[in-house]
Chain A
Amino acid sequence: MDLDLNLTVGPGGCVDCRHCGAQVGTSTAAPLDKAVRTQRPPSEAGPGMHADPARFTDRPIVLRQVFCPNCLVLLHTEIVPADEPCYRQWSLR
């Protein structure tokens, strides 16, 4: 079963990259546990990030991204307060 444009359920229930076949997660209950995660300044998301967040809030804001460990295809992007955990998660039973 494909999970989205990038991920599919592989043999044994692991989560694999649809682009290169590498394992991204050990199971659909932990679908991205082998992925590469980075954190960068939000301005690196491109020119659509107009003003410095510090103008409006004292909390640090970051660009978080998740990649396939092998082909480095981008699996997840969010811009959030740096002091928050990643609330955007999913798992299948």
Chain B
Amino acid sequence: MPVIPIAGSERFGQSEAPLDPDESFGDLALHRVDAQAIAGVDALTYEVIRHRLVAVTDDMGEAIKRMSGSVVVTDCNDFGAAIMDELGETVQVGLYNMQLGSSLDMAGRWTLRNRSVSPGIHPGDQFLLNDPWIGGGLHQNDVTVLAPLFYQGQLFCWTGAVAHQVDLGGVSPGSWSVDGRDVFWESVPIPPVTIVERGRLRADTEDMYLRRSRVPKLVGLDLRAKIGANNVAHERLTTLIDKYGPDTVKAVMKRMMDDAETRLRAKLRMLPEGEWSAVAHQDGGRADDRQVHKIVVRMTKRSDRLHFDFTGTDPQVEGIINCTLAGLRGGILPILLTMLCPDIPWAPGGIYRCVDITSEPGTINNCTFPAGIGKASVNSAWATQNAVSETVAEMLATHPELSRSATSVCSGTWDLTLLAGVDQRGGGFATMLCDAMAGGLGAKVDGDGVDTGGVNCIPMGRTADVEINEFSFPMLYLWRREEVDSGGPGRYRGGVGGSSCFIPYDSPAQGVHLVVSANGKALPQASGLAGGYPAATQWDVLIRDSSVRRRLAEGVIPSRIEDLGGHTDTVPPHLETDLGADDVYFTHWQGGGGLGDPLLREPEAVARDVALGKVSPQAAERVYGVRLADQAGSDADAEETERLRHHLRQERARLT
């Protein structure tokens, strides 16, 4: 059945335009400062308060981690935190998941416009939402708690905490329904509702929210973690305002955004005028879909502005991979922050002022309700990020200094492995395995990408220890390791990704439910630059009726798929199934793209990669043109390497 437009849903769609500074919102009094106050802050006070605001977002992250009970949050840092001004413009985004901080401004603006009269916005209120058409998170699992801070009766600013919740209902555990056709297969989005009213948690709203989850106690704890993070922020901010006065603190907030804008504009003026285009592909929009869906972007740089034009991107699909405008922005902001703004305050409210976006509603990365968006964050938002990464890096490559911030595409997708069922303590569980946080980073213009260095959009992302996962969930690892040939070949090699291989273990149900969703199997997603090759394709394998338990009983830990016995199946991009007692799951996530011609890589570096298991002897010879003195990769044979490289140059250009 085709996705049918829903009358009235347009009320929840948003532009990304800031609010008019003079707009009024019922009888809500907003604290504002004028240009004179902003200009009047001395440099020392500015830096002291600015650093304090940065520290507040760090404190928010710490608070979320300490109060949450979810491994995804406590051990993997899949959450975001930010401070917004009175109009919702983002003053400072934390170092955690920057995708989750990309559209808190949209959520703040919508809440001001739609909640200031009814139910009203009062001191001590906090609002919960998980509606990516409105903003905040990128898919329904990203639940935002927005908190207005009042000072002396005026709405002074907002804080926002967002975290990935492991299950919020829908057809499949984890809310990732791989057969999904539209949003109604998924967790139905919640527009902003009052979750804390004048300082008291609303029991009715909480029940409405948690009733949908398969793990309500865990999600309830995360809810308190986010409310607590906002409370911590409000305590710190109130102390700061008490000390320096509201006008000075607000002036610093505005100046931070102005400063980010001014400095980014200055940096853009250092770069040449031009256009850079890129494409990102996703194979399969849901289970059994054999199409390849594309996002195209043309980035134009004129003077001190960037224009991202997504015209030509495929229409939204009946599936789970679409993202809303919030997701599209989540694909742009992390690249701007990490590549263009490493030395500029991370104040998205100012950075966005340098950016124009053209995107047609109804396309795969700007979809309309009720398109399926269950995997938006790690599908079309992530793919947007890949395409944007290419264009920005190529622009930066033209500058002798700024090029050092450019990388090839990092870890081409999120390798979703969702486990659910009955844990070893007899309780129900659902979790997303976050091993893929150890993706490979893209190569740089002057060096290799970091092996298992992380993912682009979560600078503080980390993997849980194997032991934490085994303690928390009914699973036993056979291995978790870096994978050979997973980094994109190049003069500078992309960072390698890794793999995990595990069995269900110690569940009273004798097995676990498994949801797999990871693209990049028909074609790679972490592209290279300047001739560099893309990173390896995603590779997931299911082994049924293995001999692994017998091998373990014999005291042998298998370390290769070939040693597992049973029947081996390569897993498609989207699959939901059960893992039985004798089944094994192997998942191999992506590395980073390479940079430059691999035939120009130092032969000694290739030999070292082979010795360390980063590159196979086969790839050393066929892709890098390096003939090793022996298979262990200890040394390259200089004469043979030169001969081989000459031959490969001719052969790959079809001149032989």
Instruction: Mark A residues whose CB is within 8 Å of B.
Output: 1-6, 28, 36, 38, 40, 42, 44-51, 53, 55-59, 61, 65-67, 71-81, 84, 87-93
A58 to B288, CA, bound (A): 12
A51 to B275, CA, bound (A): 34
- Excluding A46-B489, A48-B489, A49-B524, 20 further A-B contacts by CB distance (< 8 Å) are A1-B398, A4-B445, A6-B531, A46-B533, A53-B521, A56-B290, A59-B291, A61-B292, A67-B653, A73-B599, A73-B600, A74-B652, A77-B532, A77-B534, A78-B527, A79-B534, A80-B279, A89-B276, A92-B273, A92-B398
Residue with the greatest number of chain A CB neighbours at <10 A, chosen from B445, B534, B653: B653
Residue with the greatest number of chain A CB neighbours at <10 A, chosen from B290, B398, B532, B538: B398
Of chain A, the residue at the smallest CB distance from B600 is A73
What's the least CB distance linking B261 to chain A, in Å? 23
What's the least CB distance linking A53 to chain B, in Å? 4
In the complex, what residues of B have CB within 8 A of residue A38's CB?
652-654
A88 to B276, CA, bound (A): 8
Q: Given A42, A53, A58, A65, which contacts B652 in the complex, CB threshold below 8 Å?
A: A65
Among the 9-residue stretches B142-150, B360-368, B465-473, B615-623, the one with 4 or more Cβ atoms under 8 Å from chain A is B615-623
Q: Are A57 and B597 in contact (CB under 8 A)?
A: no
Q: Are A46 and B531 in contact (CB under 8 A)?
A: no
Chain B 599-636: CB-based contact to A (< 8 A → 1; otherwise 0): 11000000000000000101100110000000000000
In the complex, what residues of B have CB within 8 A of residue A78's CB?
527, 534
Q: List 20 A-B contacts (CB under 8 A).
A: A36-B653, A38-B652, A47-B484, A48-B533, A48-B619, A50-B538, A51-B521, A51-B537, A55-B521, A55-B522, A56-B284, A57-B290, A65-B653, A67-B653, A72-B650, A74-B597, A79-B534, A80-B279, A81-B281, A88-B277
Q: Are B290 and A46 in contact (CB under 8 A)?
A: no
B570 within 8 A of partner (CB): yes
In the complex, what residues of B have CB within 8 A of residue A72's CB?
649-650, 652-653, 655
Q: Are A93 and B273 in contact (CB under 8 A)?
A: yes
Question: Which B residues, 465 to 486, have Cβ-Cβ distances below 8 Å to chain A?
Answer: 484-486
Q: Given A3, A58, A65, A87, which contacts B296 in the complex, CB threshold below 8 Å?
A: A87
Q: Given B521, B528, B600, B650, which contacts A77 in the complex, CB threshold below 8 Å?
A: B528
B573 within 8 A of partner (CB): yes
Instruction: Mark B residues whose CB is within 8 Å of A.
Output: 272-279, 281, 283-284, 290-292, 294, 296, 312, 390, 394, 397-398, 400, 403, 445, 484-486, 488-489, 491, 521-524, 527-539, 570, 572-573, 588, 595-600, 616, 618-619, 622-623, 649-650, 652-655
A81 to B279, CA, bound (A): 11
Q: Assuming A47-B619, A48-B524, A81-B292, is B398 touching A3 (CB within 8 A)?
A: yes
Q: Are A46 and B619 in contact (CB under 8 A)?
A: yes
Of chain B, the residue at the smallest CB distance from A92 is B274
In the complex, what residues of A have CB within 8 A of residue B622's CB?
46-47
Q: Assuming A5-B596, A38-B653, A92-B272, is B623 touching A75 (CB within 8 A)?
A: no
Of chain A, the residue at the smallest CB distance from B276 is A90
A65 to B652, CA, bound (A): 9
What's the least CB distance linking B211 to chain A, in Å? 38
Of chain A, the residue at the smallest CB distance from B532 is A77
Q: Are B653 and A50 in contact (CB under 8 A)?
A: no
Q: Are B531 and A50 in contact (CB under 8 A)?
A: no
**Chain B at the A interface: mostly helix, strand, loop or mixed?**
loop
What's the least CB distance linking B399 to chain A, in Å? 9
Q: Assuming A80-B281, A80-B523, A84-B294, is B491 touching A5 (CB within 8 A)?
A: yes
In the complex, what residues of B have CB within 8 A of residue A56's CB?
283-284, 290, 521-522, 572-573
Q: Are A42 and B597 in contact (CB under 8 A)?
A: no
What's the least CB distance linking A41 to chain B, in Å? 12
Q: Are A74 and B537 in contact (CB under 8 A)?
A: no
In the complex, what residues of B have CB within 8 A of residue A74's CB?
531, 596-599, 652
Of chain B, the residue at the smallest CB distance from A69 is B653
In the complex, what residues of A have CB within 8 A of residue B537's CB?
48-51
Of chain A, the residue at the smallest CB distance from B391 is A90
Q: Given A40, A66, A89, which contacts B277 in the complex, CB threshold below 8 Å?
A: A89
A57 to B291, CA, bound (A): 6
Q: Given A6, A51, A75, A91, which contacts B274 in the complex, CB threshold below 8 Å?
A: A91
In the complex, what residues of B have CB within 8 A of residue A84's CB?
279, 294
In the complex, what residues of A have CB within 8 A of residue B619's CB?
46-48
In the complex, what residues of A have CB within 8 A of residue B527's CB?
77-78, 88
Q: Are A48 and B278 in contact (CB under 8 A)?
A: no
In the complex, what residues of A have CB within 8 A of residue B485's CB?
46-48
A28 to B274, CA, bound (A): 9
A73 to B535, CA, bound (A): 20
In the complex, what residues of B have CB within 8 A of residue A59's CB?
291-292
Q: Given A2, A4, A42, A44, which contacts B523 in the complex, CB threshold below 8 Å?
A: A42
In the complex, what residues of A have CB within 8 A of residue B599's CB?
73-74
Q: Are B292 and A3 in contact (CB under 8 A)?
A: no
Q: Are A90 and B275 in contact (CB under 8 A)?
A: yes
Q: Assuming A51-B537, A81-B523, is B650 touching A57 (CB within 8 A)?
A: no
In the complex, what residues of B have CB within 8 A of residue A2's CB?
398, 400
Q: Are B522 and A90 in contact (CB under 8 A)?
A: no
In the complex, what residues of B have CB within 8 A of residue A77's CB?
527-528, 531-534
Shortest 4 CB-CB contacts between residues of A and residues of B: A48-B536, A74-B531, A87-B279, A74-B597
In the complex, what residues of B have CB within 8 A of residue A44's CB?
652
In the complex, what residues of B have CB within 8 A of residue A48's CB?
485-486, 488-489, 524, 533-537, 619
Q: Assuming A4-B394, A48-B485, A50-B537, is B522 touching A61 (CB within 8 A)?
A: yes
Residue with the greatest number of chain A CB neighbours at <10 A, chosen from B296, B534, B573: B534
In the complex, what residues of A have CB within 8 A of residue B294's CB?
81, 84, 87
